[in-house]
Amino acid sequence: MWGWLVIFALTLVWWVFVGNEAGAPKASNWSEVKELVSKGEVEKIVVVNRERAEVFVEGQDAAAYEFTIGSVEVFDNDLKQANEQFGQSVVLDYRNERGGFLGTLVGFLPWLLIIGFWIFLMRGMGGAMGGPGGMMGVGRAKAQIFDKEKQEKITFKDVAGLEEAKVEIMEIVDFLKKPEKYKDLGGKIPKGALLVGPPGTGKTLLAKAVAGEADVPFLSISGSDFVEMFVGVGASRVRDLFRQAKEKAPCILFIDEIDAIGRARGRGAGSFGGNDERESTLNQLLTEMDGFGTNAGVILLAATNRADILDKALMRAGRFDRQIEVGLPEIREREQIFDVHLKKLKLARGLDRSFLAKQTPGFSGADIANVCNEAALIAARGNKSSVGKADFSAAIDRIVGGLERRSLVMSPEEKKLTAFHEAGHATVSWFLKNADPLIKVTIIPRGKALGASWYLPDERHNTTREQFLDKIASLLGGRVTEQMFFGTAETGALNDLERATKMAYAMVAFFGMSERIGNLSYYDSTGNSDMAFTKPFSEKTAQQIDEETKKILLEAEAMAREVIEAHREGLTRLAERLLERETVFTEDVEEILGARNG
Ligand code: ADP
Ligand code: ZN
């Protein structure tokens, strides 16, 4: 690629400088030339193509000056006058020229270059244009292919933990192994699944294991490989990739970091044209996914750590219609991951893997693999014959140092605060009968959140005022607990507060749930008006909405406070259980807090 750019640049330079070399006539004008005529220095003037005058100076073969003339007649007259005035006899001649070969070439050079460059780009698109694949393969997908024979096979045995994800993905393996079974029944298999989880949690590993279990080739490419500087390259890479995949079918096609292309279209800064390349790549991907039949034998797996920013079109039926959560491992899973990676090491006797798992909260599978590797290096440096507990501790410390910058690992105080915060959510939602049913609570950090509570998704279509209040109270339960137990507040509640505030605001401004504002709605279902600039209500109403929103939040907070006050002891025990186990399920909550009222 750079070779071509250099040639292009050199030609341009040559064209600009050498093309106007010293031999060419100097630009001038009639009054200057007239002066030369007066001095008797001009021998003759040749008018070329009735528009340009070349001035030949006495004793020189080539034209020394040139200038543009307005009209031949006027110029002819001017020169006659000058000749008379200065007593000279400058000859006027005429010539028509179409330019020599070189001149034409120079004239066409920019066009030649542009056309050449264009052809080069088109050829670059390779497969798309039916060409042999582009000069430097710009348009070729750089998919890495792991053939089943050559590559050491990865199976589910190599993937520790992730039980739920494995169960979900098992169906895909089954289909690849026995497609007839599904085809005979007329069943459709999902074309793609999205693996969602933080980096290093084994998404790639899981995808490889699917290929390994089903004994099919594994093609992998990263989303960022699609997006390059050349327009149209991304789209043609997608085409090429799917062509390769169809040739290899049945196979697994794995796209890592799909968010690089799959981010929602037409959003964010520079959405005016700046994202065209990514968008056309994404469109091509969608087209290809729709294009191949369900039973073509190509199964797409894609990984991302943020499903929420992906374009909704990707998740539609027949595309990535299932999402598989691949979360950070819990304590038991970490033990299993240690098992996998400790196998490769020569261990000191009596090394306790549950000790290692306890020491590594918030570590991903990749971090654990790193710890094992680092521990072996540390042991080797100390000339030891086996890797022992001290080596692991040092390795963990080192990795934690790196992790802390990623703010994944919590200090003990932070962990305690998070445990109480989450226990607060759980307790409040447990005792308010309209809150969503709790599934599990965890203090394993996920993304920016240090902990999380899972609820059964709400299947109601309508929400009553009471249900809203209970939900808001549960959301505030975390923050209220922090304040009641520690007399402090931390930034981790941001998301809770944001959601609670929005809910309360919606109650007032959208759902007519405040008596003072009344049964009216400022909701705009058309999405056309921009509330940020023009509010559909007066300043006075705005103030009332603010006040009413706040009133609801205070009411919900009081409810949360009441529940927590009444169940201080249960909440404390729940927090302690969380600190001990990291994740707590409905059964534990029931055991500690008693049956749910409601
Ligand atoms: P991701 O694709 O989610 O970023 P990878 O699959 O590339 O993560 O994982 C990187 C490495 O971390 C793997 O090669 C493996 O050594 C280790 N690893 C991650 N998760 C697990 C797991 N569940 N079991 C065993 N090893 C794991
Ligand atoms: Zn919270």
Does residue 127 share a domain with residue 244?
no
Q: Among 201, 331, 332, 408, name the best residue to mutate to test ligand 1's pocket (greatest count of ligand atoms within 8 A of Cβ).
A: 201
Question: Which has the closest alpha carbon to 40: 88, 106, 100?
Answer: 88
pLDDT tens per residue, range 82-132:
888 888 888 888 888 765 666 666 777 888 888 888 877 766 554 444 334
Q: 508: domain CATH number?
A: 1.20.58.760
Give me the residue label for tokens 């705005």: 542
CA of 338 to the centre of ligand 1 (A): 12
Does residue 355 share a domain with residue 311?
no
Position 42 in a domain: yes
Tokens of 588: 């534990």
Position 187 in a domain: yes
Q: Which atom of ligand 1 is nearest to the CA of 206?
A: 6
Does residue 467 share a domain with residue 362?
no
Q: What are phi and psi of 253, to 5 degrees?
A: -110, 115
The number of beta carbons lying within 10 Å of the beta carbon of residue 78 is 16
Q: 381: domain CATH number?
A: 1.10.8.60
Please tell me what DSSP assigns to residue 25.
P
Cα separation, 440 vs 458, whole angstroms = 15
Contact 367, 200 (CB under 8 A): yes
Residues of the chain where predicted confidence (pLDDT) is lower than 50: 126-136, 267-274, 404-407
> For atom 5 of ligand 1, which residue has the closest CA?
202
pLDDT tens per residue, range 430-488:
999 888 778 778 887 655 556 666 665 555 567 889 999 999 999 999 999 999 999 98
Q: How many domains does the chain have?
A: 5
Catalytic residues: 422
- Tell me which ligand sits closest to the C-alpha of residue 373: 1
Does residue 456 share a domain with residue 384?
no
Q: How far is CA 270 from CA 231, 265, 267, 313, in A?
A: 16, 11, 8, 21
Quote the strand ranges of 223-357, DSSP E: 251-256, 298-304, 322-325
Query: Which residues surround ligand 1 with Cβ inside 6 Å?
Result: 159-162, 199-205, 303, 337, 340, 365-366, 369
Does residue 261 share a domain with residue 155?
yes
The boundaries of the domain holding residue 126 are 101-137
Tokens of 109: 């050079």
Residue positions counted in the chain: 598
Please tell me what DSSP assigns to residue 322.
E
CA of 337 to the centre of ligand 1 (A): 9
Does residue 148 share a domain with residue 67?
no
Position 406 in a domain: no
Residue 555 confidence (pLDDT): 96
Q: Is the whole model's pTM more than 0.85, yes or no?
A: no
Q: Among 151, 154, 196, 205, name the best residue to mutate to test ligand 1's pocket (greatest count of ligand atoms within 8 A of Cβ).
A: 205
CA of 497 to the centre of ligand 2 (A): 8
Does residue 564 share a domain with residue 444?
yes
Cα separation, 338 vs 355, whole angstroms = 11
Cα separation, 371 vs 340, whole angstroms = 13
Q: 59: domain CATH number?
A: 3.40.1690.20
Final residue belonging to a domain, choices 373, 401, 429: 401
Residue 568 confidence (pLDDT): 95
Final residue belonging to a domain, choices 137, 159, 190: 137
Go through 203-217 and write b for each residue having 16 or more CB atoms within 10 A of its CB, e for each that does not: bbbbbbbbbbbbebb
Cα separation, 441 vs 128, whole angstroms = 50
Contact 23, 65 (CB under 8 A): no
Does residue 529 share a domain with residue 422?
yes
Cα separation, 197 vs 307, whole angstroms = 9
- Tell me which ligand sits closest to the C-alpha of residue 328: 1
Residue 423 confidence (pLDDT): 95
